[in-house]
Structure 1
Amino acid sequence: MAGDNTVQLEEGSVGQMLSKLSALWKSRAAVNAGMRDYSLLDFNPAKSDFSEELLPFKHHPAWQVASDEMKSKCLSYAWIIYNLKTIYIESNVVTPACEDVIKSPPVGSRNRPALQSVMVESLLDEALHTKMSVDACNYIYAMRGIEYLDFTDFNLVTWRNSLLAGCNAEWERRLTRFGIACASETLITDYLKVMAEDRQIQSICHEVTSTHARDEWSHSSVFSFAAIDILRGLSERERKYFKSVVLKTVEMFANNELGAWQAAFSLIKFPDADAIIHDTGSSNEVGIYMDSVERLIERVGLNAPAVVRSQAFNTSMG
């Protein structure tokens, strides 16, 4: 099985892969390519700002009969919602997990320097992604002349906060932070792929998501190999806990964020918005992400027996 092969990787092999990813970062990462001014790209008011395929209510009758003008406004706010959620994920989910490994890498691992390097590099990437999302939002606000959407209650972030509040030990908190980030860095590649390949949307929206996608495809590997190194030292109990966090993250990451949509519909006075919110519910949320997270679980060896060390993830866990 893939998981059996993965979990038996020698520490040196994991270290070599992390070092290769770090070397690739120097040439691959957008942050090393110089800041591009995406606002110089041509703006075409006839183009959509977001891929309609990704709307959770794209098949709803009220959406189907909406005017082109109303649909255009909705797709602009879809771009805003996507980027606001990205900002929160980068800042509140991924950054703290990177900082954990940078400040306090796994005890006993021979890959400490490599782990710290790839996490510092990921942190630099995330800072750029946050700037890209902020700039891309403000560009669409300005070009479309739409009202600002002030929304902060994204489900993945509020669920993470709730889960952390319920942790009884530091090892649970650390594994929770890393597990949610690890799953998110894998799952976001599925979401980005659609817009990164959609050349029918606004140029800036396509270019920003393409740049983001290239970095995140690498981050998925970075977090997977980091997870292999971290999981190597965990007990069966700890591994089961980590796996449960990863699986639950799928549901939270894929959430339709109807609270944000309700706020956006209110701003543009979308007809039958309440019906869309009511009828959409949690439909179409999880399916597209399950294959990716199952591959992640196999890749990091969570379906294989635990390899137990005397110390785990920088503390005594048990």
Structure 2
Amino acid sequence: MHTDDIVESSHVKDTLKKLSLLWRDRAMVNKGPIDHTSIAFDPEMPDFAESLLPFSSHPRWLDADPELKKNVLSYAWAIYNLKTVYIECDVVTPACEDLIKSPVGSANARYELQQVMAEALLDEALHTKMSVSACNYIYAHRKLKPVDYANFNLVTWRSRLLAQCSSEWERRLTRFAIACASETLITDYLKTLSDDASIQPLCREVTRSHAIDEWGHSSVFSVAADHIVGSLSQSERCYFAGVVPQTVEMFADNEMGAWSAVFAHMEFPHREEIVHDSQKIGQIKVYRDSVMTLLDKLGLPVRPDWSG
């Protein structure tokens, strides 16, 4: 190993150690049993921020019955949490498991990489539990029938991409690149909901708890990427650089398939028109700064059309 490689490996090892120490104090899973469902329910408060709906400015939505709109906001909370469950279980967990079972990169930081990924896996399990409980809390208090939906675009796109991989290294790198981009991104969902005093207290608190962990995961996956990408060949680095921006675009998708299912379930008036008109407008704002910084740090190309 070259001297520069030894220094870099030592830096990664020390950074991962520090992140693991921070996790002990920061992570919600270390705060003891968390029961957000004990938070008092306020029937007059909406369960989601209307500004985050992809169709919030659509004329048909603006003219809709207020009671119907209130129920739509409850289902918006359900869609958000259901998508969170799928991302945690189907996107992030497999990438963590890959690195726990078979760490890549310098052997000098092997244990530290396994440690932070095992800690992230604990966090993801708690996030899944929080999302399931928060979803059912709203369903129960609003007396709404749950809607099941599985075809979230980020998850189905990932499955298609993995099916096209021609080797195991490509599949592993694909799993990591998608998880890395997903964990490094912060969306306006987390920023808006965790700070919005006008929505249901439970919804705000669950999102705030999730955000605390995700800000930590952004650092963990960034350092892990720095460690892993440094050991890749040029072709592997180029492949990684291609998958990350695609993930960002899929993360920002409006998920109108999920909305179509909800509207049909509710028999919402003019639902076909709303869905058709909202396919591409007002997509989820994704704060790309952290991803752009990561790609730049790794010496990988940053898309010129990304303005952050």
Same structural fold, with TM-score higher than 0.5 when normalized by the shorter chain: yes
Residue in 2 that maps onto 1:93: 91
Instruction: State the shift of 1:189 in Å.
Output: 5.0
Q: Could you tell me which amino acid in structure 2 is paired with residue 217 of structure 1?
A: W
Q: Could you tell me which amino acid in structure 2 is paired with residue 111 of structure 1?
A: A
Q: Could you tell me which amino acid in structure 2 is paired with residue 244 of structure 1?
A: G
8 Å Cα contact 1:102/1:115 also seen in 2: yes
Q: 1:194 to 1:21 in 2, by over 3 A?
A: same
1:189 and 1:301 map into 2 onto residues whose CA distance is 24
Residue in 2 that maps onto 1:171: 169
1:292 and 1:269 map into 2 onto residues whose CA distance is 40
Q: 1:260 to 1:209 in 2, by over 3 A?
A: same
1:92 and 1:262 map into 2 onto residues whose CA distance is 23
Residue in 2 that maps onto 1:159: 157
Residue in 2 that maps onto 1:43: 41
Q: Summarize deviations over 1:288-308 as a string: whole Å, max 9, x none.
A: 34444322312443249xxxx
Q: Could you tell me which amino acid in structure 2 is paired with residue 46 of structure 1?
A: E
1:84 corresponds to which of 82, 85, 98? 82
Higher relative contact order (CA 8 A, sep 6+): 1
1:246 corresponds to which of 238, 244, 247? 244
1:219 and 1:108 map into 2 onto residues whose CA distance is 21
Q: Secondary structure at 2:108's aligned position in 1?
A: coil
8 Å Cα contact 2:184/2:290 also seen in 1: yes
Residues 245-284 of structure 1 aligned to structure 2 (within 5 Å): 245-284=243-282
Residues 78-157 of structure 1 aligned to structure 2 (within 5 Å): 78-157=76-155
Q: 1:152 to 1:226 in 2, by over 3 A?
A: same
Residue in 2 that maps onto 1:203: 201
Q: Summarize deviations over 1:263-292 as a string: whole Å, max 9, x none.
A: 111122211111110001122326534444
Q: Secondary structure at 1:265's aligned position in 2?
A: helix
Q: Summarize deviations over 1:91-139 as a string: whole Å, max 9, x none.
A: 0000000000000001533111110000000000000000000000110
Q: Could you tell me which amino acid in structure 2 is paired with residue 87 of structure 1?
A: V
After TM superposition, the structure 1 stretch with the greater mean CA deviation from structure 2, 106-115 or 125-134, is 106-115
Instruction: State the shift of 1:166 in Å.
Output: 0.3
1:257 and 1:95 map into 2 onto residues whose CA distance is 22
Q: Summarize deviations over 1:57-101 as a string: whole Å, max 9, x none.
A: 111111111222111111100000000000000000000000000
1:260 and 1:97 map into 2 onto residues whose CA distance is 25
Q: Could you tell me which amino acid in structure 1 is paired with residue 226 of structure 2?
A: I
1:14 corresponds to which of 6, 9, 12? 12
Question: How many positions carry a matched residue from both structures?
Answer: 298
Residue 56 of structure 2 corresponds to residue 58 of structure 1: yes
8 Å Cα contact 1:250/1:286 also seen in 2: no
Q: Summarize deviations over 1:207-259 as a string: whole Å, max 9, x none.
A: 00000000000000000000000001111111110011101001111111111
Q: 1:99 to 1:237 in 2, by over 3 A?
A: same
After TM superposition, the structure 1 stretch with the greater mean CA deviation from structure 2, 145-154 or 292-301, is 292-301
Residue in 2 that maps onto 1:234: 232
Q: Secondary structure at 1:183's aligned position in 2?
A: helix
8 Å Cα contact 1:251/1:286 also seen in 2: no
Q: Secondary structure at 1:10's aligned position in 2?
A: helix
1:9 and 1:206 map into 2 onto residues whose CA distance is 43
Long gaps (5+) in structure 1: 1-6, 305-318
8 Å Cα contact 1:189/1:217 also seen in 2: no
Q: Secondary structure at 1:110's aligned position in 2?
A: helix
1:9 and 1:253 map into 2 onto residues whose CA distance is 35
Residue in 1 that maps onto 2:179: 181
Q: 1:69 to 1:171 in 2, by over 3 A?
A: same
1:281 and 1:107 map into 2 onto residues whose CA distance is 41
| TM-score, normalised relative to structure 2 | 0.93
What is the root-mean-square deviation in Å for CA atoms of aligned residues? 1.8
Long gaps (5+) in structure 2: 303-308
2:130 and 2:23 map into 1 onto residues whose CA distance is 18
8 Å Cα contact 2:54/2:284 also seen in 1: no
